[in-house]
Amino acid sequence: MATYIVWDLFSESYADTTNEHQLIVEELEGLGRLELYKAHVRDVAEYTEESEYFADIPVAKDYFKSKILAVIGGEIVAYINLNEIKEDDIHIIDSTVVVDLPMLNIDGRVNPKEVKVYSSEFASPEAMNQLYIEAEKKLKKTGQEMQLEEKAKENAKQYLAPILSKISGHRKVKINFKDSVNLHYMRK
C-alpha cells in the first residue's frame, strides 16, 4: 500500500499532460468611441413563441409554446464615434473654435451575467437568443425615452470644451452635433 502511494505521488509530479488551444483572431478593431452616458437597467421579460412543429394541431399548439420568464440586466449607452470626425468638421471663426460632432448613438446591451431565468417551458436555444435580441431592442428604445441624448450632449460639451480650448490656445469653443443643429453658418 505504501509503495502504491509513493508511486502515485511520484507519477503525478512527472506526469506528461498536454493542453492545446488554437486561438484564431477573427477581427481587429480600433475604437474611437466616446461613451458619454450610461444607465444600468433591469427588465422583466416574458417571451412566448409558438412551436412550428405543432402549428396544425390546435390543442398541442397552445400547450407546447416556448415560454421564458427572465429578469434581464443590461446597460444603455449613449456615445459618439470620434472616428467619424473629419477635418471639415473643425472650423475657426474669429476667436472661436467650432466643432461639429457626429450623430449621437444609443445602444442597449444585455449583460449575460445579469440574466436570471425564472421559468422556461419548452424553450429552445433559438428562443433564448430571440429573448436577448428583443431585450436589446427594448433597452435601446428605453434609452431614447429616458432622454439620454440630451444628457449625453451636455456631457460631451462639458468634457470636450475644456480640452479643445486648451489645445487651441484658450480660444472659445462651440460644440454642435450634426443631427440636431443646422450647420449652414458662416465659415471662414
Please say whether the beta carbons of 174 and 89 come within 8 A. Answer: no
Q: CA dihedral defined by 13, 14, 17, 18, rounded to 10 degrees?
A: 120
Between CA 126 and CA 134, with CA 128 as vertex, the angle to 5 degrees is 100
Joined together, the cell numbers standing for residue 111 give 449583460
How far is it, in rounded angstroms, from Cα 160 to Cα 167?
Answer: 11
Q: Measured between alpha carbons, how far is residue 151 from residues 25, 99, 136, 178 in Å?
A: 37, 18, 21, 16
C-alpha cell at 15: 506526469
Give the three-class secondary structure for 14: coil
Hey, what amino acid is at 87? E
Residue 70 C-alpha cell reads as 427572465
pLDDT single digits (tens) 116-152 = 888 777 777 788 888 888 888 888 888 888 888 888 8
CA–CA dist 82, 188 (Å, integer)? 24
Query: What are the C-alpha distances in Å from 144 to residues 44, 109, 111, 139, 147?
Result: 19, 14, 19, 9, 5
Task: For residue 43, count CB atoms less than 10 angstroms from its CB and return exposed for 0-12, middle for 13-18, buried for 19 or more.
Answer: middle
3-class DSSP state for residue 138? helix
Whole-model pTM? Answer: 0.67
Q: Write out the chain's pLDDT in tens, 188 residues.
A: 656 555 565 555 555 567 777 778 777 666 788 899 898 988 888 877 776 665 666 666 666 677 888 888 999 888 999 888 888 888 888 888 899 999 888 888 888 888 888 877 777 778 888 888 888 888 888 888 888 888 888 999 999 899 988 888 888 999 888 875 444 443 33
